[in-house]
Amino acid sequence: MSSKIAFIGAGIATSYTLIPFLDNFDKEKRTFLELYIVDKSADFFKGMPYGDRSGKSVLLIQDLKNFISEPHRTHFKNWLNQNVEGLAQEFTEHGGHYALDWVKKNSPFYNKGEWDNLYIPRFFFGKYIEQEVLQRIEKLEAKNRLSIHYIKKETVSITKKQEEFKLVFKDGAHLLVDKVILSIGSLPYKELYKKPIKNDLKSLYIKEPYGVGMEENMSQIVNFVKTRNAKKLPTKIAVLGANASGLEMIYKICDKLPLEDYNTSFSTLSSHGVMPDGTFEPEKANSFKPKHLMDLAKKENITAKEISEATHKDIDEAEALEIGAATSVGIISKGFGALLPKLGEKELLNFACFYGNQIGRRQRCAGNHYLSVVDELSKRNRFQHIKGRFLQLQENENGLEVSYSSTDKNSEKMKDSEDFHIVVNCLGSVNLMAEDLSPLLKGLITEGLCTPNPSQIGFHIDEKMQASENLFVAGPLLAGNQIEDKIFWHLEHCVRIIWSSNVLSKNLWASLSEKVAV
């Protein structure tokens, strides 16, 4: 058996496909494989969140027990225990005073091997997962059973002629392979502003948090604020989107530019007007019941829409009782999760494509280490949350003007705007229908190799996880699908990536065996 397989994108979706795949291959005695690992960045096997583009001073969104499933978690914790000293040192070297606080607060726990409740630096996981993949590759290479090629290039098109895929890279080079795994992570960020900035002292626009790299963004922000500070000018910063990336940007800016020394103020803009929540309140959790979901459970024939409506009513009630997402998310997820088996196949997919993400957006959680920065800003009256939907951005004589339509019921104005000096776009991704979709994705759709499913954020796949014959999909682009007995409206959480990538590795393996049988 010989087959040329290309993985486009080398994040953790590829790593967790390769790990079981190579383990399986190692047990098979007679075969040889040729693998091509393509990534436009140098973050091979770590990907965007856990590699250099995110930097070495940012934390996981969840605590470790919710980030990674067993048996992987125990394995990772053993590795952490062996390496923690060097890792903590690297972390403090790259972070500011908040990184030192993190070590001071968390070392009593991790020194005893108690990792489960900690929100650990993301690069710890990146280092671990890279080693896990490389060990397997080196073992098979030493046995002359695997030939692996690393291609650090952007793939701009994939076409298929007869049985062969042609991958074309940004520099014009190309590659022919038998199978492709499309594993390029989440869809690209929305482009909000394309014009050049006219006034470098008054306006700075950060078009996405991680694209050029978090550290590069930070150095631009730091230089900008320092220049203004030297002229005794205050800096108003708008973070568009109150999600984990938005929170991370605020944390990073305050870590680099201590609040005592720099005259900064922050605003976030989001339609729900709520920041992620980090405090679990056991008493409230004990008393809160998702009544609407419980009532729906008594009904026989239900639809995805009814589950969604009941869930939103229960979230409304939790909010009215001032019960935050960190407390209600488990109860509400359990409530609607128990109703999903009542749905038929079509309604299940409706839930995955249309309703799941809307619920997720109202139930965002984060760690208190990040959130304490927002609390500190609020206490100093240097933070506001604008409840609204972004309309447009333009440069004016004061800086950058953000216009939005208000989603605040108490607001008298339908539309409003405010001027800022720095605007950071954390508004999230385009969908697969967007005009400014990347040439790679546009081409895959027009060539008929991939078809968007109704979620518009994922591609339709068959039962083997192929978008079309021998073109497999991994990671977030699987949203809006059923895989085995599970539906997915969102495939970014590491636990789901591990699970789906494991299924993919089995399908990929089976497809190689099919080739032998022919």
172, exposed or middle or buried, with CB in 10 Å at 0-12, 13-18, 19+?
exposed
Does position 347 interact with ligand FAD (CB under 6 A)? The reply is no
The pair of three-digit structure tokens given for residue 510, joined into one six-digit string: 């089976």
In terms of DSSP bridges, do strands 422-425 and 204-206 run parallel, antiparallel, or are they unpaired?
parallel
Between 9 and 278, CB nearer to ligand FAD: 9
CB 332 within 8 A of CB 311: yes
Site track 152-171 with ligand FAD (rule: CB under 6 A), x = hit: --xx----------------
Contact set for ligand FAD, span 476-495 (CB under 6 A): 476, 492-494
Which segments within 214-307 are labelled E, that is strand? 235-240, 264-270
Does position 370 interact with ligand FAD (CB under 6 A)? The reply is no
Between 343 and 494, CB nearer to ligand FAD: 494
**DSSP, res 355:** I
Using the rule CB under 6 A, which residue among 213, 241, 475, 480 binds ligand FAD?
475
Does position 290 interact with ligand FAD (CB under 6 A)? The reply is no
CA 333 to chain centre: 20
* Count of C-beta atoms within a 10 Å radius of residue 144: 8
* Count of C-beta atoms within a 10 Å radius of residue 364: 21
Closest residue by Cα to residue 70 from 499, 487, 483: 499
The pair of three-digit structure tokens given for residue 3, joined into one six-digit string: 């087959």
Does position 62 interact with ligand FAD (CB under 6 A)? The reply is yes
Q: Which stretch binds ligand FAD (CB under 6 A): 60-68, 72-80, 199-207, 356-364?
A: 60-68
Does position 184 interact with ligand FAD (CB under 6 A)? The reply is yes
Which segments within 407-506 are labelled E, that is strand? 415-420, 422-425, 466-468, 471-473, 481-483, 486-488
**DSSP, res 341:** G
Minimum Å gap between C-beta 126 and ligand FAD is 9
Using the rule CB under 6 A, which residue among 48, 237, 430, 449 binds ligand FAD?
48
**DSSP, res 367:** -
Using the rule CB under 6 A, which residue among 39, 255, 277, 306 binds ligand FAD?
39
Q: How big is the CA angle at 492 (ends 92 and 483), to the nearest 5 degrees?
A: 150
Minimum Å gap between C-beta 160 and ligand FAD is 17
CB 125 within 8 A of CB 11: no
Minimum Å gap between C-beta 316 and ligand FAD is 27
Between 125 and 205, CB nearer to ligand FAD: 125
Does position 40 interact with ligand FAD (CB under 6 A)? The reply is yes
Does position 245 interact with ligand FAD (CB under 6 A)? The reply is yes
* Count of C-beta atoms within a 10 Å radius of residue 142: 9
**DSSP, res 188:** P
Q: Which stretch binds ligand FAD (CB under 6 A): 23-31, 40-48, 375-383, 429-437?
A: 40-48
Which segments within 437-505 are labelled E, that is strand? 466-468, 471-473, 481-483, 486-488
Minimum Å gap between C-beta 374 and ligand FAD is 18
Between 335 and 476, CB nearer to ligand FAD: 476
Closest residue by Cα to residue 492 from 184, 271, 119: 184
Does position 17 interact with ligand FAD (CB under 6 A)? The reply is no
Between 253 and 400, CB nearer to ligand FAD: 253
Minimum Å gap between C-beta 478 and ligand FAD is 9
Does position 205 interact with ligand FAD (CB under 6 A)? The reply is no
Does position 186 interact with ligand FAD (CB under 6 A)? The reply is yes
Between 9 and 399, CB nearer to ligand FAD: 9
In terms of DSSP bridges, do strands 179-182 and 383-396 run parallel, antiparallel, or are they unpaired?
unpaired
Positive or negative: CA dihedral 51, 52, 56, 58: negative
With contacts defined by CB under 6 A, how many residues of the chain interact with ligand FAD? 35
Q: Which stretch binds ligand FAD (CB under 6 A): 33-41, 340-348, 398-406, 445-453?
A: 33-41
Does position 60 interact with ligand FAD (CB under 6 A)? The reply is yes
Q: Which stretch binds ligand FAD (CB under 6 A): 107-115, 179-187, 260-268, 317-325?
A: 179-187
Does position 12 interact with ligand FAD (CB under 6 A)? The reply is yes
Contact set for ligand FAD, span 440-469 (CB under 6 A): 440
Minimum Å gap between C-beta 437 and ligand FAD is 12
Does position 41 interact with ligand FAD (CB under 6 A)? The reply is yes
Minimum Å gap between C-beta 368 and ligand FAD is 15
Helical pair 494-517 and 12-27, crossing angle rounded to 10 deg: 40
Q: Would you state the torsion angle of the CA atoms of residues 149, 154, 156, 162, taken in this order, to the nearest 10 degrees?
A: 10
| Contact residues for 487 (Cβ-Cβ < 8 A; gap 6+) | 340, 348, 349, 351, 352, 356, 481
For ligand FAD, the binding residues (CB under 6 A) are: 8-14, 38-41, 43, 47-49, 54, 60-62, 67, 154-155, 183-186, 210, 245, 440, 475-476, 492-494, 497
